[in-house]
Amino acid sequence: MTGFKYQTEKFADIRILRYRVPGFENLSLKQKIFAYYLAEAALHGRDILWHQNYKHNIKVRNILENIFKTYSGDRQTDCFKKFTVYLKRIWFSNGLHHHYSTDKILPEFDFGCFEDLFDKSDKKVFNDESGNTEELKDFFKNIIFNPETDKKRVNLAQGEDLVKTSAVNFYENVGQEEVEEFYNSMPQEGDEPLSYGLNSKLVKKDRKITEEVYKVGGLYGKYISRIVENLKKALPYSENETQKQSLEKLIEYYETGDLRKFDEYNILWVSDTESEIDVINGFIEVYGDPLGRKATYESTVSMIDKEATKRAKAISENAEWFEKHSPTDVIYKKKEIQGVSAKAVDVIMEAGDCSPSTPIGINLPNADWIRTKYGSKSVTISNIIDAYDRVSKSSGAIEEFAYDEEEVKLSKEWGTLGSNLHVDMHEIIGHGSGKMAYGVGDTADTLKSYASTIEEARADLVALYFAMDQKLIDLGLMPNFNPGIAEYNSYIRSGLMTQLVRIEEGKDLEESHMRNRQLIAKWAYNLGRRMKVIEKVKKDGKTYFKINDYQQLRKIFGIQLREIQRIKSEGDYKQAEMLVEKYSVKVDIELHKEVLERWRKLDIPPYSGFINPQLELIENQGKITSIKIHYPEDFANQMLHYSNNYS
């Protein structure tokens, strides 16, 4: 596709990108129809995430979108332009809170501007139940303009009630202690514990605490019914019997809300390693819950990238070798690796918590007992990584933060391969490795708010430890150690410096992946300080981190991995708390200020997200004859299209 436009616009701290789906045209009609209905199912869950993120999100979005569509005043004013940027930021974050920091996004226009926009727009949708627009204005004045109202979607601050101080819509009229007591009282069934709370909202009414379960006929029932409707339409086009059975079990889970059905679905999904078209759909990741228990809705529809899959397959086929040679304690190693499969894919559609901001790799299911007994399935998302790579090559960021020309050269020549191998190993042998000590429960119960940071650190450390291993050369995955060296440089550079551009000056690190990276980098720097394994240096008035001994750094990563695996396996909350609070949370104030100043000169938004392709169903006399793929270029138009058609 010559001349494909990867970046379409940038605003605030965001740039909007597009991704191609190479080879979609070569799929059979049956496969295209299958992908189409899976994509429709994905999009019908979009508003579930919006409502999970904050109870007022959809109401606010509807009003803001109506202003955007019907405002009759001058659209060239500073007021309307700032309003447009604010709305785009809300769209990007799936709600009023920043997608990464989880702080409430405050508008750069005042309430007087909002009133003018409000008064010169269509009044039909403005009327609340009483028909009083003044009350609605007061509501907006409090929800949008008051910085103290629901100011944090996910609060992880030590010593605070994380439930009462988080605006996320998983809990109502309950506090952290009540939530923990409620779930601690749940019975567990031997070696196959249920992920209690994964698909529900916990509410207290008339002094009684109950769960409102996400299911057909339950909470989010109308949305879930549309998801189910499209999953049923997809069923006849399944590529094999295992895939069909897994979708049938997913439908059964959505219809009942039964978490055991979700486990059964995951076991079937893991066992399907042959399908070219694959789907993830459900309440999956728990990063949005301050207690790490309740999951947000997400979906991806993908097709296999056959060439890149060869790399992932080589790692998965040698998973037992990596487990055996891991520096972790033998008592926390799996004796044998069951069903670890891996592939590279090109996404066709993303929705919910995967869009507009998207992962670059996924490893599921999350239940440790299923991983141990049945294995896991890892995917690296090739076309997303490719899009990032294409827009970042000439950004100037590497030249600005790399210590010298040799580091720049290594990054440009070997950085992409090193990064791809890291993602593969993180997902396949990182999340797929290790086991829990006997009798230790789910990490949401044992490690609580630190669980996600510890798990991401564990997976990253596996990837980092083996990034400099001869085994990767023996497998033909890299020709020499240069990709590993480039990845070490990149990881330390990011963990100690460049990721700081994503947070405001004076703020702590909140997001689990950012905490994980700083935990590893800062801890490694401290462990190797006496030997100057990583050296903090000043050159031309700028700060750099220079790695002096890559093999010694690898040994340090091994020491870290051994301890992080022990913490997870034993459920050692005290040590998790110590490490995270010591290394992950606080930011070097002076260094942060310097990094922000250097980054501003590059004019690169720190966050990126994507416009999805659009699939068009073509019919002739009631028969589907074709599925066409289009690549929209306008972010606002896609957001309005989703609100009009999937809300």
pLDDT exceeds 70 at position 376: yes
pLDDT exceeds 70 at position 449: yes
Q: Which helix (H) or strand (E) holds 223?
A: helix 221-234
Nearest to 513 by CA among 106, 105, 102: 102
Opening angle at CA 499, ends 323 and 380, nearest 5 = 40
pLDDT per position as a tens digit, 530-553: 999 999 999 999 999 999 999 999
Residue 576 burial by CB count (10 A; 0-12/13-18/19+): exposed, middle or buried?
buried
pLDDT exceeds 60 at position 128: no
Q: What is the pLDDT of residue 267?
A: 97
pLDDT per position as a tens digit, 355-375: 999 999 999 999 989 988 999
Say what percent of the chain tops pLDDT 90: 90
Query: At a CB cut-off of 8 Å and minimum separation 6, what does 160 contact?
Result: none
For the segment 569-574, the average pLDDT, to the nearest whole number, is: 97
Phi first, then psi, for residue 70 (nearest 5°) are -120, 0
Q: Residue 162 and residue 166: Cα distance in Å, rounded?
A: 6
Distances, alpha carbon 173 to alpha carbons 170, 196, 209, 434, 613, in Å: 10, 19, 9, 38, 40
Nearest to 610 by CA among 364, 347, 427, 421: 347
Nearest to 422 by CA among 556, 565, 312: 312
Give yes or no for a contact between 154 and 290, defined as CB atoms under 8 angstroms apart: yes
Q: What is the pLDDT of residue 153?
A: 98
pLDDT exceeds 70 at position 1: no
Q: Which helix (H) or strand (E) holds 574?
A: helix 573-579
Q: What is the pLDDT of residue 133?
A: 84
pLDDT per position as a tens digit, 138-179: 999 999 999 999 999 999 998 999 999 999 999 999 999 999
Q: Residue 512 and residue 303: Cα distance in Å, rounded?
A: 29
pLDDT exceeds 70 at position 130: no
Give yes or no for a contact between 99 and 607, defined as CB atoms under 8 angstroms apart: yes
pLDDT exceeds 80 at position 188: no
Q: Residue 311 and residue 317: Cα distance in Å, rounded?
A: 10
Question: Sorting pLDDT into bands at 50, 70 and 90, what band is 126?
Answer: low
pLDDT exceeds 60 at position 598: yes
Give yes or no for a contact between 523 and 560, defined as CB atoms under 8 angstroms apart: yes
pLDDT exceeds 90 at position 187: no
Give yes or no for a contact between 418 and 467, defined as CB atoms under 8 angstroms apart: yes
**Lowest-pLDDT choice from 102-111, 200-209, 266-275, 384-393:** 384-393
pLDDT per position as a tens digit, 72-115: 999 999 999 999 999 999 999 999 999 999 999 999 999 999 99
For the segment 453-463, the average pLDDT, to the nearest whole number, is: 97
Task: Name the CA radius of gyration of the chain, rounded.
Answer: 24
Say what percent of the chain tops pLDDT 70: 98
Q: Which neighbouring-strand residues pair with 200?
A: 213
Q: Residue 294 and residue 287: Cα distance in Å, rounded?
A: 8
For the segment 119-139, the average pLDDT, to the nearest whole number, is: 77
Mean of pLDDT over the chain: 95
pLDDT exceeds 90 at position 454: yes
**Lowest-pLDDT choice from 121-130, 371-380, 545-554:** 121-130
pLDDT exceeds 70 at position 2: no
Model confidence pTM above 0.85: yes
